[in-house]
Amino acid sequence: MMLFRDIDFGPDDAKGDTRLSEYFVRIPEYEKVRTGAAWLVVGRKGTGKTAICEMIHDECTNSPEAFSVVLSFKNAPTSDLFASSDRTFRAPNEYVSIWRFLITLESCKLLLQDESVDSAARDELEAFLRLNFGQVDVACLDAVSMLRERSWKVGFTPPVEGAPGAELTHNTGTATHQQIHYGRAAATLLQRLSELRSENRFYLLFDELDEDYRKEPAYFHLLISLLKACYGVRQELRGRISILPIVVLREDIYSQLDDGDLNKLDDVTVRLKWSSSRTDDRQLSLRRMVNERIRSDRDSVQSDAWLDVVQESDWRSADGGWAYVTALTMDRPRDIVKLLKCCQEYEPGQTLTKSGINQAVAGYSAWLYREIANEIFRELPEYRLALGVVGRVANRAFGLETWLREFTKEEELASKYRPDQVLETLFDFSVVGIAARGRNLFKYKTDQLIFDKGASFCVHPGLKRHLAIHPST
């Protein structure tokens, strides 16, 4: 029989996961995005946003009726994007034009793969790409850099009639093409795309938008403009060709986008909030997600595969092991998968025991610290000092007075921030929660939970081991 350490729980990150389709949980939120009913996916780091993109992309790869591209902004030359602002629009809409152009550019590339589209139309799209970028498969951010070098203009052959501000340019041969601003080019391309006929779907998956996250107005304007561009393109093409831009965005970043027009996106937004309750029959169930991972790699006798691989008899209650494990997480798929993988190092037997879990906690706690640090460092660059203060008060519930006493020992923090300001930031990321009537409350479980300076605070159980061992981290 298979040992617990031999179970393949999959990689920490869904990106590039070749086995994702074997254990992906087809939650209703996924179906809404796949069918086009929703297109904005919001969730904390590790809640499955990238998994949705990867799964859609995987299904398109194996379908003749769907085409997709994943647009990652990792290591992207965003300086060119910031330089592309269209001064005819006021903030925060100054980047709508460039996003509309990039959406149409990527749509053109996808349509070239669809043989059901009229060949003459595909020839025209290919000619446009080669004329302006020298190749068909130009990366969208490389295209932005090229546009910047050309004073933000693109060429059309044949010329677009009535385009304001157009310039005619002669090639070395007899052909003439027209140079127009990329914003007007986007409108022209969208009009042409709307006239094409195809029953297929074309997905543009915008992921890793947080890679260049910065607390600056231009960054937030860039994201607001992207959302408005996606909304506008979908509205313009509704009932015509199915070009489906999809955006996935971290919850803490989305909450900072300040624009009244975003309210109209509520109906097309899905929020990934998982439940750790053992008896919760919702689709967004961590127990169900873990069971799918176990079943994909190991034959299970019981419908609840968890009971086949975890020795729950070590605990007093029926769900003691599950309750203990999930309490160490922030109810995110990545957290619990990582914890189980940490346990594999210490569990030699066929089923996971209480001893194996307890031995794994220190390593998992160090990983969770790094995971939270990756989320919080843009909000609080001095997060190491702040978490060091948390470590010094981690062993018991504490009030604002205790926090203030330890906080003032960190002169660098105290010279830049108010004590309650830092504590509230840590509260927002669920590093600390509120100790109330024998139970601990954290914001990741209750969105409506409000920071209260007069409350007693507690440290998240998953972080406590690492912070208590390394209080100066």
| Spatial separation of the C-alpha atoms in residues 276 and 27, rounded to whole Å | 15
What domain count does the chain have? 3
DSSP string, 303-334: SSTHHHHB-GGGSSSTTHHHHHHHHTS-S-HH
Is the domain of 249 the same as that of 337? no
Q: Which pLDDT value is given to residue 473?
A: 58
pLDDT at 444 over 90: yes
| Spatial separation of the C-alpha atoms in residues 67 and 30, rounded to whole Å | 17
Instruction: Report the 3 state secondary structure along 267-306.
Output: HHEEECCCECCCCCCCCCEHHHHHHHHHHHHCCCCCCCCH
Is the domain of 330 the same as that of 400? no
Phi and psi at residue 285, in whole multiples of 5°?
Answer: -110, 125
Side by side, which strands form the sheet with 176-181?
153-156, 176-181, 167-170
Residue closest to 69 by CA, chosen among 141, 144, 124: 141
Domain closes at, from 245, 271, 297? 271
Determine what percent of the chain is predicted with pLDDT higher than 90: 67
Domain closes at, from 271, 298, 323? 271
Is the domain of 66 the same as that of 139? yes
Q: Which pLDDT value is given to residue 439?
A: 87
**Tokens of residue 307, six digits:** 């009971």
Residues in the chain: 473
What is the residue-averaged pLDDT of the chain? 89
* 133 part of a folded domain: yes
**Tokens of residue 90, six digits:** 């006021």
| Spatial separation of the C-alpha atoms in residues 67 and 60, rounded to whole Å | 5
Is the domain of 336 the same as that of 460? no
Is the domain of 393 the same as that of 424? yes
CATH code at position 113: 3.40.50
Is the domain of 69 the same as that of 207? yes
| Spatial separation of the C-alpha atoms in residues 270 and 83, rounded to whole Å | 31
Amino acid at 364: Y
Residue range(s) defining the domain that contains residue 441: 379-469
Q: Which pLDDT value is given to residue 168?
A: 38
Q: How far is CA 384 from CA 41, 295, 339, 467, in A?
A: 30, 39, 23, 10
| Spatial separation of the C-alpha atoms in residues 11 and 256, rounded to whole Å | 30
Strands 153-156 and 66-72: unpaired
Domain closes at, from 213, 245, 271? 271
* 349 part of a folded domain: yes
How do residues 336-347 score in pLDDT, each as one tens digit? 999 999 999 999
**Tokens of residue 332, six digits:** 């995110």
Is the domain of 336 the same as that of 395? no
pLDDT at 111 over 70: yes
* 222 part of a folded domain: yes
Span 81-108, average pLDDT: 89
Is the domain of 261 the same as that of 323? no
**Tokens of residue 38, six digits:** 């929703």
* 173 part of a folded domain: no
Is the domain of 260 the same as that of 290? no
Is the domain of 318 the same as that of 267? no
**Of 176 and 86, more confident:** 86
How do residues 5-39 score in pLDDT, each as one tens digit? 999 999 988 888 889 999 999 999 999 999 999 99
Burial of 389 by CB count in 10 Å (0-12 exposed, 13-18 middle, 19+ buried)?
buried
- pLDDT bin (cut points 50, 70, 90) of residue 408 is very high
- Would you say the C-alpha torsion 330, 334, 338, 341 has a positive or negative sign? positive
- Candidate from 48-62, 293-307, 414-428 with smallest mean pLDDT: 293-307
CATH code at position 419: 1.10.10
Q: Which pLDDT value is given to residue 172?
A: 43
Is the domain of 214 the same as that of 351? no
* 143 part of a folded domain: yes
Supply the DSSP symbol for 241: S
pLDDT at 370 over 90: yes
Q: Which pLDDT value is given to residue 165?
A: 41
* 76 part of a folded domain: yes
Instruction: Quickly tell me which residue has 């912070």 as its tokens.
Output: 467
Residue closest to 250 by CA, chosen among 209, 220, 196: 209
Is the domain of 46 the same as that of 192? yes
Q: What is the CA radius of gyration of the chain?
A: 26
* 123 part of a folded domain: yes
Q: Which pLDDT value is given to residue 161?
A: 44
Element (H, E) at 242: strand 242-250
Span 438-452, average pLDDT: 90
| Spatial separation of the C-alpha atoms in residues 355 and 360, rounded to whole Å | 9
Report the 10 Å Cβ neighbour count for 164: 7
| Spatial separation of the C-alpha atoms in residues 173 and 170, rounded to whole Å | 7
* 112 part of a folded domain: yes
